[in-house]
Amino acid sequence: MPANLPPQYFEAEKRFRAAKEPEEKIAALEEMLAIMPHHKGTDRLHAVLRQKIAKLSQEAERKLATARRAGFYISREGAGQVMLVGPANTGKSQILAALTEAMPEIAEYPFTTKTPGLGMMKLEDIQIQLVDTPPMGYKEVRVLLSNALRSADLIAIVIDLSLEPTNQVEAALQGLRDARIEPLTDDETQLTPGSYPRRMLIVGNKNDLTDSSKNWERLRSQYAKLFPLVSISAREGRGLEEFGRAIYQTLNIIRVYTKTPGSKADLTDPMVLEKGSTLEQAAEALHKDFYQNLKYAVVWGSGKYDGQRVSKGHVLRDGDIVEFHI
Ligand SMILES: Nc1nc2c(ncn2[C@@H]2O[C@H](COP(=O)(O)OP(=O)(O)OP(=O)(O)O)[C@@H](O)[C@H]2O)c(=O)[nH]1
Ligand SMILES: [Mg+2]
């Protein structure tokens, strides 16, 4: 045992032991390597950890290749990625069809969708990627689906309002918990260590059917405090605008329009930033030159008055127009 390993090393080692995915194991090992002092006594341990990382990297590569082949490796496009998940037959594919150009298979029987389906949904002047997924609890795809869901910007739990809602929501939440995905909350102490906190909302679909209003009330009384909720009929095209608004709000984003000095603002192609972003963060997202050389900016919208000069720490708001000066 090499001497003088600091306590942080053993904490990272504990994380390594607890980790289930190769990516997490690699991260813990890299931390251990960074913490470990370099001298003769640690040479061997160094080599052992490096070897482990190399092996795990190969494993991660193989997993990724499998996911790609099966259509579960979904590259993110647009201003946000929203995954439609839930029990079988609740209308996830119908929603994708209603809101995008995609033409997924829709059928009366459960377990129709076997691999994810993608489409782009227009929300005012931005595009959101919608992803239709196979039903949760479909065991052939569980691992691949879990991995895909962990990187979603928003998980939309879709349930059928003609049926009792609680069981459906709980089944979906349990499926997500099995994938170690938990609802994102403001209170981080609520989260299980090693879990993947994600933003979530609940969609009650088929609100055109009998009993749907009774079930909607039930759903609201039980979950309104925990999740944003929306009632729709994908088949009849009802509530789709509200659904879009709920997605936009829950994604927690703002749109910022840029303007070059002396010309008009480009109001067609906003930058999309996380809510609460500062001018400096906007500059960073735009281009590294802007970030490095930013002197100040002029803002229309969130300033006290239009055309106000603001500093790097200024918090931007949805719809702001920004003119960067470098
Ligand atoms: N009445 C009504 N039926 C709907 C609505 N949305 C979907 N359906 C019907 O519900 C059935 C299932 O729809 P799908 O979109 O295939 O459901 P899914 O959740 O993708 O199903 P899986 O892929 O098996 O998980 C089909 O018969 C649809 O026509 C709706 O808003 N109202
Ligand atoms: Mg489907």
Instruction: Write out pLDDT tens, residues 264-310.
Output: 888 888 999 999 999 999 999 988 887 888 888 999 998 778 889 99
DSSP-derived letter for residue 167 is H
Region 98-116: mean pLDDT is 94
Tens of pLDDT, residues 35-68: 988 888 889 999 999 999 999 999 999 888 888 8
Q: Which ligand is nearest to the CA of 91?
A: 1
Most distant pair of Cα atoms in the chain: their distance: 75
Note the pLDDT of residue 303: 76
Per-residue tokens: 6? 């600091």
Residues facing 300 on adjacent strands: 321
Q: How far apart are CA 212 and CA 116, in angstroms?
A: 27
Name the residue of 94, 132, 209, 232 whose CB sits within 8 Å of the most ligand 1 atoms, as the mutation to test its pocket. Answer: 94
Residues facing 321 on adjacent strands: 257, 300
Note the pLDDT of residue 20: 85
Residues facing 199 on adjacent strands: 154
Amino acid at 199: R
Q: Tell me, in angstroms, the distance from the centre of ligand 1 to residue 234's CA.
A: 8
Q: Tell me if 154 sits within 8 A of 297, measured CB to CB.
A: no
Q: In what order do the strands lie in the sheet with 271-274?
A: 271-274, 253-259, 320-325, 296-300, 308-310
Q: How far apart are CA 5 and CA 70, in angstroms?
A: 43
Note the pLDDT of residue 267: 87
Q: Binning pLDDT at 50, 70 and 90, where does residue 315 land?
A: very high
Q: How far apart are CA 144 and CA 137, in angstroms?
A: 12
Q: Is the pLDDT of residue 258 over 80?
A: yes
Ranges assigned E (strand) in the chain: 81-85, 117-123, 126-132, 154-160, 181-183, 196-205, 229-231, 253-259, 271-274, 296-300, 308-310, 320-325
* Distance linking the first and last C-alpha atoms of the chain: 54
Which of 325, 326, 306, 246 lies closest to 317 in space, CA to CA?
306
Tens of pLDDT, residues 216-251: 999 999 999 999 999 999 999 999 999 999 999 999
> Of 1-5, 41-45, 202-206, where does mean pLDDT reach its minimum?
1-5
Q: Is the pLDDT of residue 316 over 90?
A: yes
Q: How far apart are CA 121 and CA 244, in angstroms?
A: 9
Residue nearest to atom 2 of ligand 1 (CA): 206
What is the 3-state composition of the chain as percent helix, strand, coil, each rounded to the nearest 5?
A: 40, 20, 40
Question: How many C-beta neighbours within 10 Å does residue 294 have?
Answer: 19
Q: Binning pLDDT at 50, 70 and 90, where does residue 128 land?
A: very high
Note the pLDDT of residue 1: 53
Residue nearest to atom 16 of ligand 1 (CA): 106
Note the pLDDT of residue 288: 81
Q: Is the pLDDT of residue 142 over 90?
A: no
Q: How far apart are CA 238 and CA 56, in angstroms?
A: 48
Note the pLDDT of residue 2: 54
Q: Is the pLDDT of residue 313 over 80?
A: yes
Q: What value does the mean pLDDT of the chain take?
A: 92
Per-residue tokens: 235? 């088949």
Q: Is the pLDDT of residue 259 over 80?
A: yes
Determine whether the shortest distance from the Cβ of 168 to ligand 1 is under 6 A: no
Q: How far apart are CA 127 and CA 249, in angstroms?
A: 14
Q: Is the pLDDT of residue 138 over 80?
A: no
Determine whether the shortest distance from the Cβ of 93 to ligand 1 is under 6 A: yes
